[in-house]
Chain A
Amino acid sequence: MSDTAWTITLLYAVATIIAVTLLLVVFRSTRVGFRVKVASRETLEKRETYWGVIAVSLLVITLGATIFAIPYGSDQSTAGAKQRMTIVGQQFAWTVKPARVKAGVKTTIELGAKDVNHAVGIYDPDDTLIKQVNIVPGVSQPIEMTFDEPGRYTIRCLEFCGVDHHLMENTLEVVR
């Protein structure tokens, strides 16, 4: 799994365990003999407002923490890129040129789709998904990335494109 996938797993597991535990506590509270001192409706409605404020705050915090880590923006600038390559998809093959690039160098990849929607999914030598981008036919889509490790990377199609979609695979050699 990629670092991002691990982050997702951890955050999601923690949030889910807390949430499910709270709900189970709520459901357990209906056992006969446990029903003592129920808060008044007015109190519960007031608490609903508090919960609304808490929910909004949590969302705003999450937004602030993640909105700057988006893949947009820098993609359009090719400044500082030391090598260029093209990856073009068509039913049902990828054409990768050149098929060998250098590791640790900022790379501009010009993506293209000849016929239908495709998505390029780049898997590193350990078969971990490190990058994916959708490609709309007839539109130019340059992205920028750096291949950190040398080795054989796999390129798979990640947007459904027809009968042999799952066979649409190619490789890319990254060398020092």
Chain B
Amino acid sequence: MEGSTAALGARGLTGVIEEARVRRLVLQYVGTSTAFLFVAGLLGMLLRESQADLVRIDPNLFYAIMTAHGLGAFVAWAAFAVMGISFWVLAEVGFGMRPLGIALARTAYWTMVIGVLGIVVTTLFMGFGASWVFLYPLPFEGAGEWGDTAAGIFSASVLLTGVSIITWCAAILDTVTGPGLGSDAGPLNRFGAALGFGYIWPKRFRTSRPLPYPVIPLAVIGIDMIIATLPLAALLIVMIIQSIDPSVTIDPLLAKNMLWFFGHPVVYLLLFPAVAIFYLLIPRFAKKELVAGRVVAFAWFIAVIVNVIVWAHHVYLDYPSGSIQDTLNTAMQPLTYAITLPSAISIYSLSMTVWRSDFEWTPAAKFLAVAIISWLVAGLQGIINATIAFDVIVHNTMWIVGHFHNMALLNIGLVIFGAVYAFLPRLVNREWYSESLANVHLWLTVIGGYGMVLPMLVQGLEGAPRRYAVLPSAYDALTQLTIPFVIMTAIGQAVFAFNLVQTVRGKVHEERQTVLRSIGFTTSLVAAAAVLAGTALVLNREGAGESPEQPALGAAGGQSDAKARQLFASTCGSCHSLKDAGAAGRVGPDLDQLEPDSARVAQAIQRGGAGSGTMPPTLLQGQDAQLVADYVAKVAGK
């Protein structure tokens, strides 16, 4: 593969675009996705700080930010970054892009940018907070926090990111079946060759040179993401139509399956290109070829098929009677196990490539080495999630959030950073401003990241629900412990941004001075952050001690009770049961059973409920509302 980029120019005659244009394209993808990383990361930091009660944000804003953070970090940063880097990986192994590929890649870029901006607007400015999995029909049941218009624009924005992914797949498939392949067979045969079938059936899928391994995972995901995205697109189109004409609906269980049919493979939209980067760079640092034979090709053969049929492990806990969902789910456990094989084999190949090699420990190489460790650490969590008997405990808990951050930040994220450190000098034709800052970036991200992820995993094992704006207080201590590490991770990214900007500006490389400066700079920042976090925690604890919340009881006296009872009976009694008021409504929750406190009732009256009965907001106002709230809190369940 060495010198293959130099050979790119020579291929200009066979219709391959010159390298400079590919380089510009890749820089566009990497630059924009990195900008999204900083935004999405800050949003994530805010979420955890709110859970730790350092800055308590309003619940719906919390959930809107959660929606933006999820899609932002996952799609707009990680997926977008690897989508761009993939083109460079292909260029480096001699797969230049053709005019069609370039045009598709540009289209994918702009569709993604517009889609992401739409997501930002609908979540942060229109209050859309249905989470980034937007489980149908929640987008249309916003409890008054957002309207159908927001749901419609959000769906259209996500649809654009889906269109971007499909267009990117087309660009990848055009490139991997292009002249770089060295095959003069028909189109189908070329697809097979790009998938690595030549390692299994050498005669049938003949190529002029052995297929470079990094091509295989990219060809696999290029095919799979087209298959996986189409049902999601259909779901989103139905949602867009429903936002205009509410009579159009879709079955919730079907919608859930359509979402996860996309939701699983999209995780591999991150992982498989990351594997391609490993396949390219690890042998380069080890100064030898990737240790791989036919087994890797077999594993990817399994992957291309199984990847699009394992979605139902995301609905292990949905098994309504009379549906085939439970049978489907059971079949998913062995299938999900099968999809771990490409990872298991790849980790072996990479390890044996590193084994006793003259390995060049550059910052990029260190990022990749830690990423391999995280791949295994998070992958083993994946096997637990895939096992139904274990999943019944960890599903829907913070464990999943921990697993996800372990995989997306500490495996994929580190691969992206490693690739940026490895490729940027060639892309901008400059050396890095500082290698020691790159090391600082690595260690702050790794220590901060694991300090952030491990408590999430433990909280999950202890039953902490995920997606809670306010967690039950039993989990507070661990959440607060996380904060210094979250801040440390953020500082790591600030160091990265600084290094990146200096490099792009062409600042002179003064390593020795930089070492001193960066060490001073970083330690002071870390210390400041720790002190800040510590102080905030202490203040917060004291603050909590000073003002224990007292349930506000109604103004003493039977008179107000009598009025409240009457108000309740006339306004609320048709839907709710409350023995004291002689009310026996059955539409909404039974309040004797629920025993809500006054604040909860006041909130329900002010905001209204949603659901089948649809309790309208502000049925009662001002003093009356407070009177009824206090009264219900006092008598419910008595």
Contact = CB atoms under 8 A, between A and B. Distances in A.
Contact of A1 (B292, B320, B359, B461): B461
A59 B373 CA distance: 20
B487 to A, nearest CB: 24
Contact of B396 (A114, A119, A142): A119
Interface string B382-394: 0110011110111
B59 A142 contact: no
B138 A117 contact: yes
A5 B393 contact: yes
A38 interface: yes
B394 to A, nearest CB: 7
Contacts of B317: 119, 132-134
Interface string A21-48: 0111011011010111010010011011
Contacts of B542: none
Contacts of A162: 63, 129-130, 138, 141-143, 145, 610
Contact of B59 (A4, A134, A166, A171): A166
Q: Could you tell me the dominant secondary structure of chain A's interface residues?
A: mixed
B145 A4 contact: no
Given A15-B380, A75-B319, A117-B256, A48 B296 contact: yes
Contacts of A129: 393, 397, 462-463
Nearest to B51: A166
Contacts of B466: 158, 160
B138 A116 contact: yes
B59 A158 contact: no
Contacts of B294: 49
A79 interface: no
Contacts of A20: 373, 376-377
A129 B459 CA distance: 11
A66 B603 CA distance: 45
Interface residues of B, number: 103
A73 B326 contact: yes
A125 to B, nearest CB: 13
Interface string A119-133: 101010001110111
A33 to B, nearest CB: 11
Contacts of A44: 291, 352
A90 B135 contact: no
Contacts of A5: 393-394, 461-463
Contacts of B357: 30, 35, 38
B241 interface: no
B351 A26 contact: yes
A81 interface: no
Given A4-B393, A30-B358, A48 B461 contact: no
A157 B157 CA distance: 29
Contact of B356 (A35, A48, A66, A136): A35
Bin chain A's interface residue count: 35 or more
A56 B89 CA distance: 30
B506 interface: no
A95 B167 CA distance: 47
B9 interface: no
Given A55-B345, A95-B593, A166-B471, A12 B340 contact: no
B470 A166 contact: yes
B337 interface: yes
B461 A8 contact: yes
Interface string B359-373: 101000000010011
A128 B461 CA distance: 10
Interface stretch (B147-155, B264-272, B328-336): B328-336
A24 B435 CA distance: 23
A94 B589 contact: yes
A123 to B, nearest CB: 6
A16 to B, nearest CB: 6
B320 A136 contact: yes
5 contacts: A19-B376, A20-B377, A44-B352, A90-B612, A139-B253
Lowest 6 A-B CB distances belong to which pairs?
A: A129-B463, A115-B611, A30-B359, A69-B389, A45-B293, A72-B326
Given A44-B352, A158-B395, 14 more contacts: A12-B381, A20-B376, A26-B355, A29-B355, A59-B337, A66-B387, A67-B388, A67-B389, A72-B330, A127-B474, A141-B319, A158-B396, A158-B465, A162-B141
Interface of A: 1-2, 4-5, 7-9, 11-12, 15-16, 19-20, 22-24, 26-27, 29-30, 32, 34-36, 38, 41, 44-45, 47-49, 51-52, 55-56, 59, 62-63, 66-67, 69-73, 75-76, 90-97, 99, 114-117, 119, 121, 123, 127-129, 131-134, 136-142, 156-167, 170-171
